[in-house]
Amino acid sequence: MKVRLTILIILLSSLSLHADEGMWIPLLLEKYNISDMQEKGFKLSAEDIYSINHSSLKDAVVIFGSGCTGEVVSEEGLLFTNHHCGYGYIQSHSSVEKDYLENGFWAMDQSMELPNEGIKVTFLIRIEDVTSAVLAGVEGSNDEMDGWKQIQTNIKSLVENATTGNHYEALIKPFYYGNEYYMFVYEVFRDVRLVGAPPESIGNYGKDFDNWMWPRHTGDFSVFRIYADHKNQPAEYSPDNVPYKPKKFLPVSLAGVEEGDFTMVMGYPGTTTQFYTSDAIDLFVNKSYPKNIALRDERLSIMDKYMRGDDKIRIQYAAKFRRISNSWKKWQGIILGVNKTSAIDVKRDEEKIFIEWVNEDTSRLKKYGSVLENLKQKYSDLEKYIYVYDFAGEALMTNELMNYIKEMNSLIRENQNKSLDEKILAGEALLTRSEKFFKDYNSDIDRETYAAMLTAFKNNIQAEFYPDLYEKIQKKYKGDIKKYTDFVYAKSKFIDLNSVIQLLKDYPQNEEKLIKFINKEELFADYQSIARLYSGKVNKPYRDINLEINKLYKLYVAALKEMNLSQKMYPDANFTMRVAYGEVEGYNPLDAVHYDFETSLDGIIEKYKKGFEDYTIPEKLIELYYEKNYGNYADEEGFMPVCFVASNHTSGGNSGSPVINANGQLIGLNFDRNWEGTMSDFFYDKSICRNIVVDIRYVLFIIDKYAGAGYLIDEMELVNSK
């Protein structure tokens, strides 16, 4: 029995910890990965990737905004990221008169580059293992809350020590569910300007039809520039700032890719849950996600109807639509991938082996014997509340006007006891926020969506979890939700910017009047009703069950590490810098179907000829194609590459990540995963999981030949050989 068990453990471990799987901490590459990477063709050292003693690749990779990755590609602070990462900023500069979404934007010199409110890029300075320091004084504590407080105290002290006397920021995050802790020290730049973006018909070619799909033909990139003060230090926006001089920038390869080439992705993957049990995956994939998909179906359908009929609304809601549809389609892909790979069954088989391993030893049995059964029970307990939590968040709380009024109320309350001068400043902030909100707001979409979401919640959730706003609808409107929402929006004093300006003109001298109007708003009353539901019936049990689940995972993961002492185990992604490596390769999505590893401009034209709206392209791109005016960016046979796929393990947050070849040169920008492979957040299967990359040669071709911004190419260090 022990021999059989050992063989099964080795087999399953080798499958689940394949070398091409993983999001590895750069600090630990020398210990765990570099020899394997070099065997696969990597020609640099671990120090070339991550070093605190000299410049390294990590110094060219940034957090872009708050949820993407970017890379520096010139000594003038030029930055690449995805088009969809820069989309909100491109949209903020757009109007019907200057439609940068439709037509693209290109600054032909630095004076034309556009500043962006609220944007930031973040450089990693160093990583430090602080596990011992964070857990100091915790082990002897019998009280869990006391232990948690001690951890928070230790973290606060470590962060203060790391940031005192400098301009750095620091963040400490748990790994392996709190079995380890690492500190990340950052330098943040807040003057980041838009340099260039292709039109949406290039940057989002294929739109939602192709999103999360392969083959792909999307030029998903945008160009920004980082600015600093005259000492090359971070500074708020100023016309006097100058382009940032980076410690490191990535050379750009024109040599192209071939199947089997080594690839590496550096960046900030958002969230993975590879340690989830079969019961967890079953709850999300078979129960939670299908309901969320249905809700977003309705929201997207309403938006689409209005966007197709009005260019102004199309621009207003472009970023919102894309944000909502992204997860909507991803969830569908996860369901597809989990079912295709029988991931739940594989997890169950691994859990059986885990139980056998635990049962072999009495000390292990005592320590870990009930962990899987307890997790199973907790997920059963969670199911009741997750539907309410999801539906409230995905339906009721998505109302735009409700959230705006709630925000106004919070800002006013925060300043109630402050000086008149402070209140005047607050009033200016309220007006600025209102102008920004109403620039991209349509009350008809919001009203119709709210009616649909109120109806969906009522039809899908048990009556015991109805917020009391449904009582009001029943009593005053005989349960007619449409009649109620029509009344709410017709009577609101916050329905448009002109109305809000009238309300704000007397602020702060008559703030009580403004508070009174807010309190009379039906949508504000609805928000309070939903908040009461959360706080009274949902939040505490939902939070408490998840806390118990996390405690059990800490124990379970510790056991898995003990069980796999000879194996490398990477931690879940948590939006900290990671390195993933693999190779350029196609895959077989279905029986007798093979997808090649790269696409070309030929494929764009083929799709365009179908006449489908999502495959519209600019006339100039068509002209360049028929003229074969590709410059130095096509190969010797005239093949103009667009995208390729590789087996790097990526996740949300890796959008915009540099894809780097064996020599440390930029060969593309990561922007997506294949649809079947989106389930890699739960379960990675090398046979079908692929990251999708826009080939850097297509990026340069669009910048140079399409946009005529060749001066940007001149800034870069181009390399022609592998």
Of residues 210, 220, 279, 695, which has the active-site annotation?
Answer: 220
In angstroms, the CA 515 to CA 409 distance is: 7
Q: Is 436 helix (H, G, I), strand (E, B) or coil?
A: helix
The CB-side HSE value for 37 (13 A sphere, CA atoms) comes to: 28
**Helix axes of 83-92 and 311-340: crossing angle, nearest 10 degrees:** 160
Active-site residue flag, 84: yes
In angstroms, the CA 576 to CA 454 distance is: 38
Active-site residue flag, 685: no
Whether omega before 508 lies within 30 degrees of 0, making that bond cis, reads yes
Would you say 697 and 256 are in contact if contact means Cβ atoms under 8 Å apart? Answer: yes
Cβ atoms within 10 Å, residue 252 = 21
364, with CB counted inside 10 A (0-12, 13-18, 19+), is middle
Active-site residue flag, 220: yes
**Helix axes of 371-394 and 443-460: crossing angle, nearest 10 degrees:** 140
Q: Is 264 helix (H, G, I), strand (E, B) or coil?
A: strand
Of 219, 440, 217, 204, give the one whose Cα is nearest residue 325. Answer: 204
Cα dihedral 50, 56, 59, 61, rounded to 10, equals: -70
Of residues 655, 657, 680, 695, which has the active-site annotation?
Answer: 655
Of residues 83, 84, 217, 649, which has the active-site annotation?
Answer: 84
521: left (phi over 0), alpha (psi -120 to 50) or beta: beta
Q: Is 155 helix (H, G, I), strand (E, B) or coil?
A: helix
Of 27, 584, 689, give the one whose Cα is nearest residue 264. Answer: 584
Cα dihedral 95, 101, 103, 107, rounded to 10, equals: 90
Of 150, 198, 392, 151, give the one whose Cα is nearest residue 295. Answer: 392
Would you say 135 and 125 are in contact if contact means Cβ atoms under 8 Å apart? Answer: no
So which residues are the catalytic ones? 84, 220, 655
